[in-house]
Structure 1
Amino acid sequence: MNSRIFLALFGLGLIVPAWAEGELAWRIPVSAAGQASHGGHATKSAGWRLEGMGEGVQARMIAPDLSVHPLEARGGAFPMPRTGMEYYHALVASRAGEGRVETAIRYVPLGGRPSGHSPAEVVALPKARLEIVPDPLPREHWRYQGDQAARFALRFDGQPLGGQAMRLTTAKGSELVVQTDARGRAAIVVPDDLDPDAGQRQAGEMILVAEHRDGQGVLHVTTLSASYAPSPAHWKSLPLGAFMGVAGLVGGFAARPLLLRAAKPRPKRKTS
């Protein structure tokens, strides 16, 4: 089916892709008090949750040095092993069934000593045949932001997958679909659906989903989940910025005569 027709029918609700039901997706940790941790940096939590978890799921964590650490669910969540390395780690969960392969990926920043490795290394490492790749990851202690464009790449067997649909949904109910270009890339404007009155430090949850059927008819479904923050426009005062700009301009003109006077050479005094 033509991709444009697919996107149009999807928008009308006439096509419901296979990813709409039961996909695996990593969710933000919950603390012992039952509160969602801020940005995934909780120091005391029950562990990362995996939506859609059931029989046959295998999970692992990939550290910045690309070492692999198996994850075991406890009480419905996956506690994080200590690697002693800071910066981004990749959570990967997978499940294979008859004619269907599912993968869930999330990049989480953990504390520790400098690893000496770039986050680009863990991002570039293939984790599934079908994979949504951040292009690039937000810097540590940063998040995707509402009303800001975020870039992603879709790859199958390590090669760009162009002309494919990716769906983004948020926990607030926003939803949109984009199509990858010939290089398998897509820019997505993160929905600005968080309550600006709730504060700048609140965290929203979003999930990207894509699917692709290989030459043997096996359907591959992959998700990439992440947190996002409100639009920075809610916290930047445009009137204040304009006032400071005008004040600086006026101040510059007022100070100009004094600067010129100070820079003017003084005549030398004659000595007898």
Structure 2
Amino acid sequence: MSLLSANVAADIFWQPYSQADPGHHAHKKSKSLQLSNLPNEIPVDIKLVHSDLEISTPSLSNDVLKLQPTRKGNYHALVATLETPDSYQQAVRYPYMNGKPVDFSPSDLLAYSTGPLRIIPSPLPREHWRYETDKTYRFKVLFNGEPYKEQPILVSTSNGSTDVLQTDSSGLLKLHIPDDFTNVVPGKRKNPAAEIRLFANTSTDSIRYTTSFSAPYSPNPSHWKSTSLGALAAAFGLMAGLLVIRRLPEYSRRPKK
């Protein structure tokens, strides 16, 4: 196991809270997220950067954050920071919130510096879109505002896939999400999303910097669209064939009386 792979066990990251929420009926519009791998007795700073760049400070309860609506639409940035004398860990996630439009774009949010080491989607998925398997996405990786050039980035999914990719000479990372769903049910809403996670780390002056990016991803619609399109094409071909046959002389000729 590489050092990068071994570090994942200690790096914090956001993921959906999977257990039953006792207050679910009282907070139907909330989203519960869990900060995984959080060490005991070390304070963590939580910051929510709104889509208009306003900042609020929600708090954890037993490593779980109940993300309340901000009444502002578009992406937000959820940042957890854990700092010790010899380490600086961050976990970043970009939840989409429903609400009123704001005079800011996702690019304004991505320009906001969340910390020294950053994994930045380039760009975020458009509204109502999502990360999907068998598609390639781009990320910029920066350290202290400079491209994090030719460095390893660990990628893992909640479906069990892992890989170590590398940024290029401009700090750009190209991620092709693996098609690792074992059971795919036709229809976008019938397949629960899985989680993809990216981890980066570096060290300077005896301080280890780490950051994680996490987001949901879903099966590629081609799993069921190709079948439906094939059936539609076959039906269209059959109808076209019948029309051609009916135009042939032996079918158009009326019987003589």
TM > 0.5 fold call = yes
Q: Which SS does the other structure have where 1:123 is aligned?
A: helix
Q: Which runs of 5+ in 1 are unaligned?
A: 1-12, 37-41, 255-272
Residue of structure 2 equivalent to 1:264: none
Q: Show the 5 A alignment for 1:102-117.
A: 102-117=89-104
Residue of structure 2 equivalent to 1:138: 125
| Contact 2:46 2:59 survives alignment (8 Å) | yes
Residue of structure 1 equivalent to 2:202: 212
- Shift of residue 53 of structure 1? 2.2
| Contact 1:134 1:152 survives alignment (8 Å) | yes
Distance 1:73 1:96 in 2: 16
Over residues 109-162 of structure 1, what are the superposed CA-to-partner deviations in whole Å (9 max), with x where a residue is unaligned? 111111121011111111010000001101122210011111111001111111
Q: 1:240 is aligned with what amino acid?
A: A
Distance 2:186 2:236 in 1: 29
Q: Which runs of 5+ in 2 are unaligned?
A: 246-257
Residue of structure 2 equivalent to 1:53: 38
Residue of structure 2 equivalent to 1:43: 29
State the TM-score, normalized to the length of structure 2: 0.81
The sequence identity of aligned pairs, in percent, is 30
Distance 1:137 1:74 in 2: 29
Q: 1:106 to 1:164 in 2, by over 3 A?
A: same
- Shift of residue 90 of structure 1? 0.5
| Contact 2:153 2:164 survives alignment (8 Å) | yes
Distance 2:138 2:61 in 1: 34
Q: 1:210 is aligned with what amino acid?
A: A
State the TM-score, normalized to the length of structure 1: 0.77
Residue of structure 2 equivalent to 1:169: 156
| Contact 2:140 2:147 survives alignment (8 Å) | yes
Which of 136, 143, 147 matches 1:160? 147
Matched, 1:223 2:209: no
Which of 27, 41, 48 matches 2:15? 27
Q: 1:16 to 1:180 in 2, by over 3 A?
A: closer
Q: 2:70 is aligned with what amino acid?
A: T
- Shift of residue 18 of structure 1? 5.5
Distance 2:134 2:224 in 1: 13
Matched, 1:90 2:65: no
Matched, 1:196 2:193: no
Q: 1:137 is aligned with what amino acid?
A: L
Q: 2:170 is aligned with what amino acid?
A: R
Over residues 184-225 of structure 1, what are the superposed CA-to-partner deviations in whole Å (9 max), with x where a residue is unaligned? 0111111111221375322111111011123x2321110000
Q: Which SS does the other structure have where 1:226 is aligned?
A: strand
Q: 2:231 is aligned with what amino acid?
A: L
Distance 2:124 2:214 in 1: 12
Distance 1:19 1:147 in 2: 27
Q: 2:208 is aligned with what amino acid?
A: L
Q: 1:217 is aligned with what amino acid?
A: S
Which of 67, 86, 100 matches 1:99? 86
Q: 1:106 to 1:249 in 2, by over 3 A?
A: farther
Distance 1:113 1:22 in 2: 38
Q: 1:28 to 1:141 in 2, by over 3 A?
A: farther
| Contact 1:69 1:81 survives alignment (8 Å) | no
Residue of structure 1 equivalent to 2:168: 181
Residue of structure 2 equivalent to 1:240: 231
Distance 2:237 2:144 in 1: 55
What is the alpha-carbon root mean square deviation over aligned residues?
2.7
